[in-house]
Structure 1
Amino acid sequence: MQMLGTFIKPMHREGVKFVAAFAVITLVLFLIWDVLGWIGVGLTVWCYYFFRDPERVPPDRPGLVISPADGIVSLIEPAVPPAELGMPDMALTRVSIFMNVFNCHVNRAPVAGEVTAIAYRPGMFLNASLDKASTDNERNGLRIEMEDGRSIAVVQIAGLVARRIVCFIEPGTRLAAGERFGLIRFGSRLDVYLPAGVAPQVRLGQTMVAGETVIADLTQPPVLQ
């Protein structure tokens, strides 16, 4: 059973209707031509894999910022958080994580705290790996206030293929680090805005695991901006 669990992961409930639709289409394709049917089987398996929702174990140490998404670090740069989140109008270090269509797309809280703001903004569907995707694309931002009074912003950004941002929570929700808060369909990006003076501990191109990979350590001495 342990070996089976290595390859077969539980699926998030958001994926049930999509897998069911793929399965029905696959049955129709088999009636038309077996080759098309087997292609449908492959696509159905991929859809199930896309919506996988494995358990993750966050680091057992307070003061860490952990990755909200699986994927690759695509950008690390200073940027002002989205104005709709009500954060100070100043540049903070932004760490962007790009998710391709093969990554797990369940998003997790980077820190423990209270969600003091959730703001959705419609927009374009540019390639999520581009810098301007942060400002031009459809997005949904969360502001999470930690016990020490500092806030972190995490922003879900739709991409070239992604057409649906899903957020499971509401303002006032208290999240544990690594707790699920949303997902994006299909292929996208997440931005994390670190508090002032906090230096990232990741590099461009690094592979991230949602709920487990450490982005930054809030207990380290502040870095002068």
Structure 2
Amino acid sequence: MQKPQLPMALEGYPFILFCAFATLVLAALGWAIPALAGLLLTGFVTYFFRDPARVLPEQRDAIVCPADGKVIVVAEVDDDRFLHARAQKISIFMNVFNVHVNRVPLTGTVERVTLSPGKFYSADKDKAVLHNEFCALTLATPHRQRYAVVQIAGLIARRIVCRAEAGDRVLAGERFGLIRFGSRVDLYLPLTARIAVKVGEKVRAGETALGFLSAPTEDNREEPIA
């Protein structure tokens, strides 16, 4: 049986407590309008850091969506930064009203975690991919299929939280981090993956099946990982 937990990301508690304390101080001083503004801010911050339970897709080999938001890219690309191969890319843009907890798309082992500092362009722009701060997880499924999930900071987002470490065994749908206040997640998948979403679709982390990645056959088995 799963242990009950508060539907709130742990990283949000300092912000929520600070806003609530400031609101109480303003109210105690009799500053009604600032106190009301503080109350609204506390409510927004609490809403932002919500972490609702999600029901995983029932389909076998489903690629679990890593983030809430809107699909802004579905394309085949030459990925020379993470997988160093031709890959299928899905990009999801998260606005400030989306749940920002990120989840693991496929069960596997974390090979590498790469954190790169950078700029903070709007996350829905193409230049954000090349210049913004990001944290990339490169993983391998039990069938040695490699994929990458990349958390990208945005115009307002200034803090990427990634709890995963190299060598970790992670499960599909498991929470691994979040990005604070508006951002983007890019997913790089093998060419054998069957994509089931289109640009413009709204998706939910831990619940939407972005596609399917079946175990490789002898004809399309990937090369062993060094």
TM-score (norm: length of structure 2)? 0.88
1:55 and 2:53 aligned: yes
Structure-2 residue corresponding to 1:74: 72
The correspondence for 1:92, drawn from 87, 90, 103, is 87
String of CA shifts for 1:96-141, please: whole Å, max 9, x gaps. 0001111111100001011111111111100000112111100000
Q: Which amino acid aligns with 1:41?
A: L
1:50, 1:177 → 2: CA distance?
Answer: 23
1:28, 1:200 → 2: CA distance?
Answer: 52
Structure-2 residue corresponding to 1:26: 23
* 8 Å contact from structure 2 (residues 143, 216) kept in 1: no
Q: Which amino acid aligns with 1:38?
A: L
2:181, 2:15 → 1: CA distance?
Answer: 12
The correspondence for 1:65, drawn from 55, 63, 66, is 63
* 8 Å contact from structure 2 (residues 65, 210) kept in 1: yes
Structure-2 residue corresponding to 1:45: 43
1:11 and 2:13 aligned: no
1:32, 1:66 → 2: CA distance?
Answer: 49
2:98, 2:63 → 1: CA distance?
Answer: 20
Give, in angstroms, the shift of residue 27 of structure 1. Answer: 2.2
Q: CA RMSD in A?
A: 1.9
Q: What aligned pairs does 1:209-220 form with structure 2 within 5 A after superposition?
A: 209-219=204-214
Structure-1 residue corresponding to 2:3: none
Unaligned runs of 5+ in 1: 1-8
SS in 1 for 2:195: coil
Structure-1 residue corresponding to 2:126: 131
Give, in angstroms, the shift of residue 183 of structure 1. Answer: 0.5
1:80, 1:166 → 2: CA distance?
Answer: 27
SS in 2 for 1:133: helix
* 8 Å contact from structure 1 (residues 109, 177) kept in 2: yes
Unaligned runs of 5+ in 2: 1-5, 218-226
Q: What aligned pairs does 1:45-194 form with structure 2 within 5 A after superposition?
A: 45-81=43-79, 83=81, 85=82, 87-88=83-84, 90-194=85-189
* 8 Å contact from structure 1 (residues 99, 105) kept in 2: yes
Aligned length: 211
Q: Which amino acid aligns with 1:154?
A: V
Stretch deviating more after TM superposition (30-39 or 113-122): 30-39
Change (3 A) 1:169 1:219: closer
1:220, 1:181 → 2: CA distance?
Answer: 24
1:82, 1:166 → 2: CA distance?
Answer: 24
2:160, 2:17 → 1: CA distance?
Answer: 20
Give, in angstroms, the shift of residue 221 of structure 1. Answer: 9.9
* 8 Å contact from structure 1 (residues 93, 199) kept in 2: no
SS in 1 for 2:205: coil
TM-score (norm: length of structure 1)? 0.88
Structure-2 residue corresponding to 1:201: 196
Q: Which amino acid aligns with 1:65?
A: I
Structure-2 residue corresponding to 1:5: none
SS in 2 for 1:91: strand
Q: Which amino acid aligns with 1:203?
A: K
